[in-house]
A and B are shown apart, each in its own frame.
Chain A
Amino acid sequence: MIEVEQVTKTYKLGDHSFDALKSVSLKIEKGEFVAILGSSGSGKSTLMHLIGGLDRPTSGKIVVDGEDLSTLNDGKLARFRNEKIGFVFQFFNLLPTASTLNNVIMPLIYTKKKGVQRVPKATEVLTSVGLGEKLRNRPNQLSGGEQQRVSLARALVNDPEIILADEPTGNLDSKTGEQIFELLTTLNKQGKTVIVVTHDQDLATAAGRIIRLKDGEVVT
């Protein structure tokens, strides 16, 4: 379960400051498929970064699986991201010099989990997203949809409980976008908590719940 309590995030830009999130509170149950919907600047990415432990709130607290993220030091927060969270980004964020396989293996390099067979595990996950034939390809040899599937495989390889996807279809055509959403739906059915940040109303309807953000506040 993810609990966001009274979270405010303030960015300082020179002399004036700007509240990206204003006292946001919400709960997401384990196994939910949630779409966070909002226009750009609504604070949806900021919220996702905070839930994923990439950033810390200015005030308020975030509790994931009973663990208060504000009590974790940088090292423990890194471990949290590694083991509990799988990130999927809009621009895929793959390493251009590394092969598909090596991109997917990367989270396993930093994990403290014992006994994970890196290559078999990464191969298995890549096969499950339909890229079993492209293990040795570089990202620039893949289509956008394929790259996003590599990114999804990377998010899944360390068996996280939560998948955080930030505009995962933002850089894809609508058909490929739907395929990615189908994959996310499948993952959710397998028991993962999936949180997708998007501004695409149609796709958001695939999620079980929609949280709308506007100007840093939850509107529904």
Chain B
Amino acid sequence: MRILVDSFKMALSSLLAKKARSSLSILGIVIGILTVASLLSIALGVRAEITKSITDLGSNLVFVTPGKVAGQGGSFSSQLGASTLTEKDFESIRSLPEQKLTTIAMLVSGTVKSDFSSASDLLIYGSSPGLDEITNLKLSEGRFNDADDDNQKARIAILGAEAAKKLFSERAPIDQQVEIRGEKFTVVGVLQEKGTATTFGGPDLNALVVIPIQTAWEITGTKQIFRINMQAADASSVKTLKDKVKKIVLENHNGEEDFSVLTQEDLVSLIGTILNILTAMIGSIAAISLLVGGIGIMNIMLVSVSERTREIGIRKAIGATRSAILLQFLIESVILTLVGGGISMSIFSILVVLANKFSPIPIDFNPLVVLLSLAFSAVVGIVFGIVPAIGASRKDPIEALRYE
């Protein structure tokens, strides 16, 4: 223990004797660790945000979508073609005991116009009643569509907060008219603004324009079902519901699996797979800068060992063992990288505060990232310091004493 303390003191005084050199080596490590920590945090932030947006959709949800999401990492583009889902699928699964609520939805393309402005970037979404319950959408005023609206193919619309603002700016939208595909719709409800607005794949829930599904089918002249949204009775029945739905729809489709049944968990893990690849990529790029920093440390330690050959000779002559010399030089490089790690974390915490003020992605000051970075910097110190330290410990004392 005492030798550790002594080695630490000796290392510190040698490093302080060469301040400029030590600072520059530390700078290399600071840049490396900072890059790794920042990119890692951004990746974690994005992941948390995406996971949150999926769980925010509602609870215990099961989605049936057209097209096959091929296992893990499949694409969502299969949803864009003509739907393979039918009304029969809907009818055959809507009364399963494990489900609490089942809705169907269809996307309608088109521009929405009001008397004041028009917007082509809104998401016109035909839905059967119950979308509000499934997706946690809340009204700020008015009402949602109900079964009567579907029966009457009513020309009514519920606007997302952003959609309402775009079409009516500050005016009250309720009972105002909007035009979709040449037909007049009456606004009956406005949704509250949603915090985590974007879901994976982009639809902005604040840009929703919800109309009854039957109305959507009538004005488009097609009976497309873009997706069936189901809510399981409780968390424990999600899995059973998924399996049952899959089995029934598969029968409906004569055994052809041209659809996918996904739970929220599936979505999270699907996105997670993609994010893992991205995180690994970003991580390896960041690791390169840390590698460069590490090589800087190694370089400076090699120079230091060579310069201090005589010192090594003296220490050996007065009784320093190989391991004592090794420890002294190893501790020097570890001090360099640990100080670098410490400085990085101070800068990093400032960056986190700034990022949360100015960037749309919330970044946590994750203690795990800090611990990992510090541990990693110590490892870099050992890995890149060990070769010079071994070199120092193996020097022949007589040769070393003669060294000029």
Residues of chain A having any CB pair with chain B under 8 Å: 49, 52, 54-55, 74-75, 78-79, 81-83, 87, 89, 93-95, 97-98, 106-107, 109-111, 154, 158
Contacts and interface: CB of A to CB of B under 8 A. Distances in A.
B398 A81 contact: no
A169 B271 CA distance: 78
A107 B317 CA distance: 9
B397 A54 contact: yes
Contacts of A75: 321-323
14 contacts: A54-B316, A54-B401, A55-B398, A74-B322, A78-B322, A81-B317, A81-B319, A89-B401, A95-B311, A95-B314, A98-B13, A109-B320, A110-B318, A111-B319
Contacts of A110: 315, 318-321, 324
Contact of B398 (A54, A94, A98, A106): A54
Contact of A154 (B310, B318, B324): B318
Interface in B8-37: 10, 13-14, 17
Contacts of A158: 319
Given A93-B317, A110-B319, 18 more contacts: A49-B398, A54-B401, A55-B398, A75-B323, A78-B316, A79-B319, A79-B321, A81-B317, A81-B319, A87-B317, A87-B318, A93-B401, A106-B314, A109-B6, A110-B320, A110-B321, A110-B324, A154-B318
- In this complex, the member of A54, A74, A98 whose beta carbon has the largest number of chain B beta carbons within 10 angstroms is A54
A78 B393 CA distance: 12
A70 B302 CA distance: 32
Interface of B: 3, 6, 10, 13-14, 17, 310-311, 313-324, 397-398, 401
Nearest to A107: B318
Given A54-B398, A98-B13, A109-B6, A93 B314 contact: yes
Given A95-B311, A95-B314, A78 B17 contact: no
Contacts of B401: 54, 89, 93
A200 B404 CA distance: 24
Nearest to A98: B13
Contacts of B6: 109
A100 B280 CA distance: 53
